């Protein structure tokens, strides 16, 4: 069978990432444990940067590939860029972090890159089986990464918890795929959409069950309530660099799948699944923010906060139509930037064995470590949703979409939740600048790559808040293309 | 000159930001202080361009500028001033200079960060007063929160952290309701531009259902009531005023409270005339409760800063009464009272700051009879207190008088209760003056014997503010003329003001109408 060269160019980022990961495994293969970690880290960085650059090549070759399994359009390009950029930031902070934790192993980078390949496949696939494979590749790598800190019981506990619950959720997703196939006779999203528009209304209940099952599986992955229970424990147990990774890339990739399946394949049935999203949005926002109020462990707090932010994205999701899609996309970009920025600072301050990970350790650091504090403050302000940061504009975009679709109640709940959330994010700033130091925190580790990660995120957050024109226009355009306008 | 007229507002917005950047890059503490001073002085000089080139006879916005910003959401960078905001911009630059000078001696640690935040705050406040785009307005409105909360929290008193967080969360909650209203309004009218929205609503091309208008009105109202503050949403205020460092409290009481009152006039009254008319009594009653309640509480306080904090509640209540009397004269009075209150409050806070720097206390019982040690201080204290009370010839009198005229026109009992506020303010301010600087020297407070009079810098700043109150009082026509047409244009369409109120207040006085 002849495969056009275009097909390979359309999955170029995936190919580059896979090649890099395999190369890392070869480098590590013959060496003493951990002795070549620095080299592997550098290779991983270069490979990921190359993958990011190859997204540009991809964008020059839009279209379908491999019998319509894979699709390069604005939507998938956006998520490719976002996911690979997130991995790049995670790599930058892990290089310093692993050194501080004495966890330098090359496998870490290989796992990270394989996970990224999985996520990129999720973003580009329009075939449920391929989506499932991508989801599994990224999930299995994340399970392993969670338990990467083997000396720590918490890390192993997190890995086990995530593995058990995660496999369970994946099974739900698979059931959903099977039922969808039963109802429509295909696993290709666009074919499903076409055949569902032909069939008589008799399949409505089957589709509703299929949508519900897929919703369970995907909601688990984005830690949306009521499937969020695992999040705080896993986020707390996993090494900070892995927590940072899990809170960014997989979330974005799963939302990409979420949006594509529900809008493209099941778009006609939006009136039936709309209420699931609506309820999950309200529950996620409220439970996430209420849970975060009393946390003093930074990782746990950000875990609850990530539940709440999944809720905000779901608000955009519930605001059906291209306004909702573009709002969700833009918000995910902002969320990735601000969340990774916060985690970059946390991992920088954590020190060996993650000694300084509690809010109380942060008291009085503001004027001692200005770079870390300013970056963390900018990210916290963005998480609150203060103007001139991406977090604000993202939220504005979401609530505007909600108002536009007459979801006034949902928008008001979201706005009130933002006020509630202001308290616990602000508390971090208050500890940094307004409290005298109580714990003797040693100088944070000097690491150029970590500083680059922190500053890049902080600058990105401000850029998204002040000059978002190009990205916003791109997002609006590609959301319109997704809904087939 | 045309070019300058066109870009003066942007220059005003950018000048403090450049100052902030320079402060950030400055090498030493001395350089930081001087750069901040130069920046705020330059901004003040720039802002003086506005009153000199303001066309009193022209309607609508002046010095306007409109540049697209975020095209996907149809957001513009649109700025301009009219008679309502003209003097508030100038007040901002004046009080920012005062604040920078106050910080000269009172801020001793992390000087660079403090001045950086102060200049950032100045830019934000100017932005609030000149924005004509609801999005831009909201951006500036919220952005002022951050430097202020940090200033309270990092340089404030013993309870600073709690005060900062309470201030932030309280204000943020109100702002988000306003954001809801803004988005809803955007959805109905398709634009963020204030002038365009007003035109659409007035021409009837967009019709708001009565209950929609009321909800939109309330969304804005809550945010402004918290910021001003207006009873019953004022509970963050005494704490924040007491804990904030002196330069921050000048910005907070002198300027940020005006942001709320300005918002009431610019957005609530302007955009929702029918709802304003329907709910005017409610808002006026809240203002009146603030007037009386604040006055009574100020009378029983034993802490100097708290007295002034509650007096602010009382005086800002009067502003609200003036604005929601929905008369031209009342609106003019409200604007004038805002300016006057900004100057007098800044002066009073500076005065108690002088005492605090010398004695480390603000309790009334620690003072008494200090006039003999501090004659200059005592003179300035009495002057500024009298300006706040509303002694004729000084600034407070004009604003209060015009507000009473407006209130009487609206409802007689509004005016009667509002007038009570003046009696109360005379009571608590005279009590404060008596217990602090007059009377027998306090035997228990040994530190007072050697207390020194105001220093050169403090003296000049205070004298400047005192002269300003006199100028405002004597030269009031100069300040009131630019506000006339704008105040007229604001009045609800459904409630035409009586004919006598459309003439300038001074013309009315001359004709003997009053």
| Per-residue pLDDT at A52 exceeds 90 | yes
Place of tokens 């003493």: A32
Which range among B310-314, B329-333, B456-460 shows the weakest confidence by mean pLDDT? B456-460
Of B110, B168, B187, the CB nearest to A403: B187
Q: Is A473 buried (19+), middle (13-18) or exposed (0-12) by CB count in 10 A?
A: middle
- At residue B501, the pLDDT reads 46
Helix, strand, or coil (residue A123): helix
Chain A residues with CB-CB distance to B169 below 8 A: 419, 422-423, 426
- The two beta strands, B75-81 and B62-70, are antiparallel
Say whether residue A38 is in contact with chain B using an 8 A CB cutoff: no
Residue A192 pLDDT > 90: no
User: What's the whole-model pTM score?
Assistant: 0.91
Which pLDDT score is estimated for B357? Answer: 83
pLDDT at position B512 is 44
Confidence bin at A382 (pLDDT 50/70/90) = very high
In chain A, residues 426-455 whose CB comes closer than 8 Å to chain B: 426-427, 429-430, 433-435
Sign (positive/negative) of CA torsion A56, A61, A66, A67? positive
pLDDT of residue B361: 80
**B168 contacts A403? CB cut-off 8 A:** no
| pLDDT for A177 beyond 80 | yes
Q: Which residue in this structure is represented by tokens 């209060």?
A: B400
Q: Which residues contact A185 (CB under 8 A, 6 or more apart)?
A: A195
Whether residue B445 has pLDDT greater than 70 = no
Q: Which of chain A's residues have a Cβ under 8 Å away from the Cβ of B139?
A: 387-388, 392
Distance from the Cα of A51 to chain B's closest Cα (Å) equals: 29
Q: What is the pLDDT of residue A201?
A: 54
pLDDT tens string B182-212? 999 988 888 899 888 888 888 888 888 888 8
Tokens of residue A281, six digits: 């949005």
Going from N- to C-terminal start, the domains of chain A cover 5-483
Residue A337: pLDDT over 60: yes
Check residue B28 and give its pLDDT: 85
- Could you tell me if A453 and A93 are in contact, meaning their C-beta atoms sit under 8 angstroms apart? yes
A279 reaches B (C-beta below 8 A)? no
3-state secondary structure B365-398: HHCCCCCCCCHHHHHHHHHHHHHHHCCCCCHHHH
Q: Of the candidates B70, B145, B161, which has its C-beta nearest A434's C-beta?
A: B161
Residues of A in contact with B173 (CB under 8 A): 416, 419, 422
Class of residue B237 by CB neighbours under 10 A (exposed 0-12, middle 13-18, buried 19+): buried
Per-residue pLDDT band for B136 (boundaries 50, 70, 90) equals very high
Q: Is the pLDDT of residue B137 over 70?
A: yes
Q: Mark out chain B residues that contact chain A at CB-CB < 8 A.
A: 70-73, 110, 113, 135, 138-140, 142-143, 145-146, 149-150, 153-154, 160-161, 164-165, 168-169, 172-173, 176-177, 179-180, 183-184, 186-187
Contact call for residues A456 and A404 (beta carbons, < 8 A)? no
Mean pLDDT of B22-39: 89
Using the predicted structure, report yes or no on whether residue A304 has a pLDDT greater than 90: yes
Give mean pLDDT, residues A276-297.
Answer: 92
A231-246 average pLDDT score: 92
Residue A63: the pLDDT is 86
The residue behind tokens 């009586």 is B498
Residue-wise pLDDT tens digits, B268-319: 888 888 888 889 899 999 999 999 999 999 999 888 888 999 999 999 999 9
Cβ within 8 Å, pair B165-A423: yes
- By Cβ distance, the residue of A386, A411, A435 closest to B142 is A386
pLDDT band at B449 (very low <50, low <70, confident <90, very high): low
A466 touches chain B (CB under 8 A): no
> Can you spell out the DSSP letters for B68-94?
EEEGGGTEEEEEEE-HHHHHHHHHHHH
**ipTM of the complex model:** 0.89
Residue A78 structure tokens = 């956006």
Confidence band, pLDDT 50/70/90 cuts, at residue B442: low
Which pairing describes strands A70-72 and A63-65: parallel, antiparallel, or unpaired? antiparallel
Give yes or no for residue A33 having a pLDDT over 80: no
pLDDT, tens only, A428-473: 998 998 888 887 777 777 888 999 999 999 999 999 999 999 999 9
The mean pLDDT of B124-151, rounded to a whole number, is 92
Residue B242 pLDDT exceeds 80: yes
Q: What is the mean pLDDT of residues B169-181?
A: 90
pLDDT tens digits for A119-143? 999 999 999 999 999 999 999 999 9
The yes-or-no verdict on residue B511 having pLDDT over 70 is no
Comparing A107-116, A269-278, B95-104, the range with the smallest average pLDDT is A269-278
**Interface check A393 vs B, CB under 8 A:** yes
Confidence of residue A485 (pLDDT cuts 50, 70, 90): very low
> Which residues from chain B sit within 8 angstroms of residue A469, using beta carbons?
70-72
Does the pLDDT value for residue A381 go beyond 90?
yes
The residue of chain A with its CA nearest to that of B113 is A367
- For chain B, percent of residues with pLDDT exceeding 90: 34
Crossing angle of helices A240-259 and A298-318, rounded to 10°: 10
Q: Is the pLDDT of residue B494 over 50?
A: no
Residues 6+ apart with CB under 8 A from A395: A312, A331, A385, A414, A418
Predicted pLDDT of residue B1: 62
Tell me the three state secondary structure of residue B269.
helix
Q: What is the mean pLDDT of chain B?
A: 86
In this prediction, what percent of chain A has a pLDDT beyond 70? 98
Identify from A379, A390, A419, A480 which residue to disrupt to test chain B contact, counting B C-beta atoms within 10 A and taking the largest count: A419
In a 10 Å sphere around its CB, with 0-12 CB exposed, 13-18 middle and 19+ buried, how is residue B3 labelled? exposed
Check B176 against A366: CB less than 8 A apart. Answer: no
């Amino acid at each position: 069978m002849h495969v056009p060269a275009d097909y390979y160019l359309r999955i170029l980022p995936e190919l580059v990432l896979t090649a890099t990961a395999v190369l890392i495994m070869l480098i590590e293969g013959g060496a003493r444990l951990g002795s070549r970690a620095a080299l592997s880290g550098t290779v991983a960085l270069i490979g990921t940067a190359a993958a990011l650059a190859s997204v540009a090549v991809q964008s020059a070759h839009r279209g379908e590939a491999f019998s319509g399994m894979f699709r390069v359009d604005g939507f998938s390009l956006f998520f490719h860029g976002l996911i690979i950029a997130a991995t790049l930031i995670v790599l930058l902070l892990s290089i310093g972090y692993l050194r501080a934790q004495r966890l330098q192993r090359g496998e870490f980078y290989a796992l990270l890159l394989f996970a990224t390949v999985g996520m990129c496949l999720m973003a580009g696939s329009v075939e449920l089986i391929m989506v499932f494979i991508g989801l599994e590749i990224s999930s299995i790598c994340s399970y392993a990464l969670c338990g990467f800190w083997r000396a720590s019981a918490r890390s192993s506990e997190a890995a086990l918890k995530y593995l058990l619950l995660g496999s369970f959720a994946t099974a739900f997703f698979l059931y959903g795929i099977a039922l969808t196939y039963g109802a429509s006779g295909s696993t290709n999203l666009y074919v499903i959409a076409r055949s569902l528009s032909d069939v008589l209304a008799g399949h409505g209940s089957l589709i509703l069950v299929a949508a519900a099952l897929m919703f369970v599986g995907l909601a688990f992955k984005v830690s949306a309530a009521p499937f969020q229970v695992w999040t705080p424990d896993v986020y707390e147990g996993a090494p900070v660099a892995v927590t940072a990774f899990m809170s960014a890339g997989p979330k974005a990739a799963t939302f990409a799948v979420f949006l594509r399946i529900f809008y493209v394949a099941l778009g006609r049935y939006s009136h039936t699944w709309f209420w699931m999203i609506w309820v999950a949005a309200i529950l996620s926002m409220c439970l996430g923010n209420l849970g975060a109020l009393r946390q003093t462990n930074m990782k746990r707090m950000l875990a609850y906060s990530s539940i709440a932010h999944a809720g905000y994205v779901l608000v955009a999701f519930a605001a059906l139509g291209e306004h909702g899609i573009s709002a969700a996309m833009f918000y995910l970009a902002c969320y990735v930037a601000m969340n990774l920025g916060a985690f970059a600072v946390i991992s920088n301050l954590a020190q060996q064995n993650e000694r300084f990970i509690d809010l109380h350790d942060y008291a009085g650091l503001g004027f001692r470590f200005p770079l870390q504090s300013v970056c963390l403050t900018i990210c916290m302000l963005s998480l609150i949703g203060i103007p001139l940061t991406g977090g604000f504009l993202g939220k504005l975009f979401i609530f505007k979409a909600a108002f536009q679709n007459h979801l006034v109640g949902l928008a008001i709940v979201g706005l009130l939740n933002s006020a509630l959330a202001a308290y616990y994010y602000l508390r971090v700033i208050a500890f940094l600048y307004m409290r005298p130091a109580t714990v003797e925190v040693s100088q944070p580790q000097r690491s150029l790559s970590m500083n680059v990660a922190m500053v890049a995120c902080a600058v990105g957050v401000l850029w998204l808040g002040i000059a978002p024109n190009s990205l916003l226009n791109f997002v609006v355009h590609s959301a319109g293309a997704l809904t087939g306008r | 000159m045309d070019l300058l007229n066109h870009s003066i507002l942007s220059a005003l917005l950018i000048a403090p930001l450049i100052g902030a950047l320079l402060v950030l890059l400055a090498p030493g503490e001395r350089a930081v202080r001087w750069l901040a001073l130069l920046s705020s002085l330059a901004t003040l000089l720039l802002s003086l361009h506005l009153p000199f080139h303001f066309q009193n006879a022209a309607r609508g916005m002046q010095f306007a500028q409109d540049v697209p910003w975020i095209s996907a959401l149809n957001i513009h960078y649109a700025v301009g001033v009219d008679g309502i905001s003209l003097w508030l911009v100038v007040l901002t630059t004046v009080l920012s200079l005062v604040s920078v000078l106050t910080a000269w001696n009172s801020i001793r640690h992390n000087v660079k960060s403090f001045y950086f935040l102060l200049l950032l705050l100045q830019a934000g406040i100017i932005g609030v007063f000149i924005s004509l785009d609801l999005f831009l307005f909201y951006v500036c409105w919220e952005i002022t929160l951050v430097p202020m909360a940090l200033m309270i929290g990092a340089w404030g008193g013993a309870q600073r952290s709690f005060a900062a967080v309470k201030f932030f969360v309280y204000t943020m909650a109100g702002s988000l309701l306003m954001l809801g209203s803004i988005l809803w309004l955007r959805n109905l009218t398709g634009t963020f531009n204030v002038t365009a929205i007003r035109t659409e609503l007035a021409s009837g091309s967009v019709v708001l259902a009565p209950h929609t208008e009321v909800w939109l009105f309330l969304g804005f109202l809550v945010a402004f009531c918290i910021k001003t503050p207006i009873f019953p949403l004022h509970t963050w205020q005494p704490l924040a005023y007491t804990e904030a460092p002196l330069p921050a409290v000048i910005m907070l009481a002198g300027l940020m409270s005006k942001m709320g009152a300005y918002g009431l006039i610019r957005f609530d009254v302007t955009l929702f005339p029918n709802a304003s008319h329907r709910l005017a009594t409610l808002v006026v009653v809240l203002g009146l409760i603030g007037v009386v309640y604040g006055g009574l509480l100020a009378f029983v306080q034993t802490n100097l800063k708290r007295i002034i904090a509650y007096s602010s509640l009382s005086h800002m209540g009067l502003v609200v009464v003036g604005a929601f009397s929905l008369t031209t004269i009342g609106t003019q009075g409200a604007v004038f009272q805002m300016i006057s209150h900004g100057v007098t409050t800044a002066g009073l806070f500076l005065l108690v700051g002088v005492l605090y720097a010398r004695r480390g206390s603000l309790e009334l019982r620690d003072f008494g009879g200090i006039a003999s040690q501090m004659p200059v201080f005592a003179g300035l204290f009495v002057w500024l207190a009298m300006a706040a009370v509303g002694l004729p010839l000084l600034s407070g009198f004009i604003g209060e008088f015009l507000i009473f005229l407006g209130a009487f026109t609206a409802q007689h009992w509004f005016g009667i209760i509002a007038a009570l506020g003046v009696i109360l303010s005379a009571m608590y301010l005279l009590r404060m003056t008596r217990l602090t600087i007059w009377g027998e020297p306090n035997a228990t407070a040994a530190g007072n014997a050697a207390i020194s009079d105001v220093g050169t810098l403090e003296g000049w700043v205070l004298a400047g503010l005192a002269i300003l109150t006199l100028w405002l009082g004597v030269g009031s026509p100069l300040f009131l003329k630019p506000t006339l047409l704008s105040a007229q244009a604001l009045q609800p369409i459904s409630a035409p003001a009586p004919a006598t109120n459309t003439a300038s207040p001074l013309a009315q006085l001359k004709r003997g109408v009053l």
